[in-house]
Amino acid sequence: MNIFTRNRWLLGFLLVVVSCLLIVGCSSNEKAKTAEAEKPTESLEKDKAAIQAVIEKQFNGPDNRYRQLWDAATEIQTANMNEEQYDAWLKTPEYNALIDYMNSTYASYFTENAYETFRNTDAFLYSYSDREYKLTTSAIEITQSEKERTLYPFTFQVMYENESGETEIVDFEGQAIVPVAGKIGKIQFNNQEKLLQKIEE
């Protein structure tokens, strides 16, 4: 085999290999696109159920069990803790009971990273106040975006009732991203300030 014949043979072989790789790649891409298109349909109910559960747990309340655990944990916390004291507080039964309750309430509805963010920012936001009030959710509407199938815009209402029995309806809207069936990757509630102000009036 002379050099030209060998080069032509190598070139032909490389073309066959590249063609096979392109075919396999295209096939994989098509399968991925098909799976992406089918996944939201299969998980639609799980996704909506997770979002609705988080809305209901967050905005019905206040959660009296959370309040009790929060009070117990903060009663043994001092304002001027040094790092060693703070680390010791994180290991107390009171603090761990609080975290366990938070985890059992919300963790199953989120991806791991999303839950950590939610726990440190929004979880039980409407249960911190010691005032007497009642919150009740209604008219929860969750839709799936046609353009981005893992995106779910939603709207709902919260009836706020103060200690005198006076009520007011507060409208909410927001959106959630659910990358895995039934596991929220991100959730955002808009218009939260109005209800928080009502609670503190």
pLDDT of residue 23: 42
Please compute the mean of the pLDDT values over residues 126-153 and round it to a whole number: 95
Number of domains the chain is built from: 1
Q: What is the mean pLDDT of the chain?
A: 84
Whole-model pTM: value is: 0.77
In a domain, 130, yes or no: yes
Phi-psi region of 139 (alpha: psi -120 to 50; beta: other; left: phi over 0): left
In a domain, 120, yes or no: yes
Q: In what order do the strands lie in the sheet with 186-190?
A: 133-142, 151-162, 167-177, 186-190
In a domain, 146, yes or no: yes
pLDDT of residue 41: 62
In a domain, 186, yes or no: yes
Please compute the mean of the pLDDT values over residues 35-46 and round it to a whole number: 64
pLDDT of residue 28: 42
Q: What angle (nearest 5°) sits at the alpha carbon of residue 65, between those of residues 167 and 61?
A: 20
Residue of 97 and 12 predicted with greater confidence:
97
Say whether pLDDT at 127 is over 60: yes
The CATH number for 135's domain is 3.10.450.230
Give per-residue pLDDT as tens, 56-88. 999 999 999 999 999 999 999 888 899 999 999
User: Residue 145 belongs to what domain range?
Assistant: 45-62+109-200
In a domain, 56, yes or no: yes
Say whether pLDDT at 143 is over 60: yes
In a domain, 156, yes or no: yes
Question: What's the Cα-to-Cα distance from 143 to each of 55, 59, 107, 169, 173, rounded to whole Å?
Answer: 14, 19, 23, 22, 12
pLDDT band at 191 (very low <50, low <70, confident <90, very high): confident
Please compute the mean of the pLDDT values over residues 125-132 and round it to a whole number: 92
pLDDT of residue 173: 97
pLDDT of residue 31: 42
In a domain, 2, yes or no: no
